[in-house]
Amino acid sequence: MKNESGEASVEEENQKQPKEAGKFIKIKKFTFIMGIFLLIFLTAGITTIALTFGDEKVDPLASNKHSEFEKLYSTYDTIKDNYYEEIDQDKLVDGAINGMIKSLDDPYSTYMDKKEASSFHESISSSFEGIGAEIQEQDGKIMVVSPIKGSPAEKAGVKPNDIILSVDGKSLEGLSSSEAVLKIRGEKGTKVDLSITRAGEPEPIALTIKRDTIPIETVYAEMLDDGVAKIQVTSFSEHTVKELETALNDMSKKDMKGLILDLRGNPGGLLDQAIDMASLFIPNGEVVLQVEERSGKKEVFKSKNNGELKIPVVVLIDDGSASASEIVAAAVSESADIPLIGVKSFGKGTVQTAQDFDDGSNFKYTAAKWLTPEGNWIHKKGIKPDIKVNLPDYASLPYISPDKELKASDSSSEVKAAEKMLKAAGYNPGKIDGFFDEETTNAVKEFQKEQKVKETGIIKDDTTVKLMQVIREKILENDTQVKKAVEVLKKEIK
């Protein structure tokens, strides 16, 4: 399932995707929604997929049996009958439900009205229109879990843990992830203005992103040198395991001797897919994960492996790896001794259950927590890799809007970011101080000459786009985490 930033949000990550829109597939007695695929995209909408367990039916009339609801009924009747203006009764009821759920202070419990629920169900289809990022609500703010691979959000430089302050000038403060998704999503070709904050950046970053169609392709395979294959899994949707099996067969035909399973930036997805994927690497009958209810009762999910992958494997994780991807990472680490490489994962270890209402609205709430095979709870802690490897510093440089003009005598955080990009690209902008001086101008002109862009000494439009493209290519060429994974595998390949 996908978050809605796609606007997917991490909240629905553990939710099972049904074959019929609007219904949840059940695994035993639990339904998993893994993080709301706010694909923002920021796709079409990071709401993403949340891990959801639970299957109980909620009786909307059950509240009539409880005396503690008398105040609620009395308040509703008084407002309906005596408020000085006519009120929207549906809006009043929605507000009451929202109030109860928000009082839980839980970013993974949320209510969606009919419009929001419809948007969410669309986000589990085969494609989305949006910017392609998964988001979640955290402490009243909208945080990016991860941009979708190849999405407008990723190309614009959106990073995990970015906080989206506003959309088209309107604040997102206090909104749920599903409400934020409705503001971020939009038709292909339209633009959306975001204001974001990022750790280490003193000022908000302004982004203008053109929305696009975000297809749900979740597996990308390539052969590296010396028989090492790299397969990236970007989310867990309905056909992810089949895609992975196909990719493994294709790589085997190319004489694969070792495998890098890349779960970086993967915000989660369907639980059954996570279990099936982990089972490809874990011996039959070994534990994949445990689910613990409030009572302390645990249900154990075990590997359903029917074969054996007889090559060495390593798994890459980062701070954008969440929910279902953390289930797989923890499972292969603890039950198959497969090493994890990268940086600490996101840390989502709770399980939500979802309830649809007859009018098309729904709500979900946290009903349990999931534990690793050894019983560890990684919620808000994340999973630490066996081998910690950071990407180069320039991999975290902020996005610069092509519409923004940077020129001589300017002084700003954008100028400082541009100076760092120029230096990383092999040019000398002088002192990295955020001041656009003569040395910076000369470095820009040299860059423009080599990139066959008009030599103006000004960073704007094509120059900005080219500069960020060069940095993206440099990150791919110098992926320190992949290089370490290759190094580890080569020691194991026979």
Q: What is the pLDDT of residues 306-332, one digit of tens each?
A: 777 889 999 999 999 999 999 999 999
The pLDDT value given to residue 309: 84
Same domain (yes/no): 333, 398: no
Q: What's the CA gap between 164 and 197, in Å, rounded? A: 7
169 is a domain residue: no
Same domain (yes/no): 342, 399: no
Among 211-215, 367-371, 412-416, whose mean pLDDT is lowest?
Answer: 211-215
70 is a domain residue: no
The pLDDT value given to residue 117: 76
425 is a domain residue: yes
Question: pLDDT higher for 436 or 239?
Answer: 436
Q: What's the CA gap between 210 and 163, in Å, rounded? A: 19
Q: Look up residue 325 and give its two tokens.
A: 């991807």
The most confident of the ranges 76-85, 115-124, 195-204 is 76-85
Once rounded to an integer, what is the mean pLDDT over residues 450-473? 93
From 134, 154, 292, 334, active-site residue: 334
The pLDDT value given to residue 290: 96
Q: What's the CA gap between 232 and 22, in Å, rounded? A: 29
424 is a domain residue: yes
Inter-CA distances, 98 with 35, 54, 362, Å: 19, 20, 11
Q: Look up residue 62 and give its two tokens.
A: 């059950």
Same domain (yes/no): 252, 375: yes
The pLDDT value given to residue 20: 33
Q: Are 36 and 14 in contact (CB under 8 A)?
A: no
Which phi and psi (to 5°) does residue 255 adopt? 65, 50
Question: pLDDT higher for 38 or 374?
Answer: 374
119 — pLDDT class (breaks 50, 70, 90): low
Q: Look up residue 272 and give its two tokens.
A: 């059954």
Asked if pLDDT for residue 40 goes beyond 70, the answer is: no
Asked if pLDDT for residue 29 goes beyond 50, the answer is: no
Same domain (yes/no): 376, 282: yes
Same domain (yes/no): 248, 384: yes
Same domain (yes/no): 442, 303: no
183 is a domain residue: no
The pLDDT value given to residue 122: 57
The pLDDT value given to residue 270: 82
The CA-based diameter of the chain, rounded to the nearest angstrom, is: 81
Q: What's the CA gap between 146 and 134, in Å, rounded? A: 5
Cβ-count burial of 30 within 10 angstroms (0-12 exposed, 13-18 middle, 19+ buried)? buried
Same domain (yes/no): 254, 312: yes
Same domain (yes/no): 466, 335: no
The pLDDT value given to residue 202: 81
155 — pLDDT class (breaks 50, 70, 90): confident
120 — pLDDT class (breaks 50, 70, 90): low
Known catalytic membership, residue 334: yes
Asked if pLDDT for residue 42 goes beyond 90, the answer is: no
User: Which residues make Cβ contacts (< 8 Å) with residue 96, sequence separation at least 6?
Assistant: 72, 76
Among 20-34, 280-294, 425-439, 467-481, whose mean pLDDT is lowest?
Answer: 20-34
264 is a domain residue: yes
From 230, 348, 420, 445, active-site residue: 348
Same domain (yes/no): 317, 378: yes
Asked if pLDDT for residue 409 goes beyond 60, the answer is: yes
Once rounded to an integer, what is the mean pLDDT over residues 21-37? 33
Do you know the residue count of the chain? 494
Strands, E assignment, 78-211: 110-112, 127-130, 133-138, 141-147, 163-167, 170-171, 191-197, 205-210
Same domain (yes/no): 382, 402: no
446 is a domain residue: yes
Residue in 219, 178, 193, 122 with CA at minimum distance from that of residue 10 = 178
242 — pLDDT class (breaks 50, 70, 90): very high
417 is a domain residue: yes
Question: pLDDT higher for 217 or 334?
Answer: 334
The pLDDT value given to residue 220: 92
Same domain (yes/no): 435, 373: no
Once rounded to an integer, what is the mean pLDDT over residues 324-343? 97
Same domain (yes/no): 310, 443: no
Q: Are 482 and 392 in contact (CB under 8 A)?
A: no
Number of domains in the chain: 2
CATH number of the domain that residue 419 is part of:
1.10.101.10
Asked if pLDDT for residue 429 goes beyond 90, the answer is: yes
Q: What is the extent of the structural domain holding 408?
A: 394-477
CATH number of the domain that residue 237 is part of:
3.90.226.10
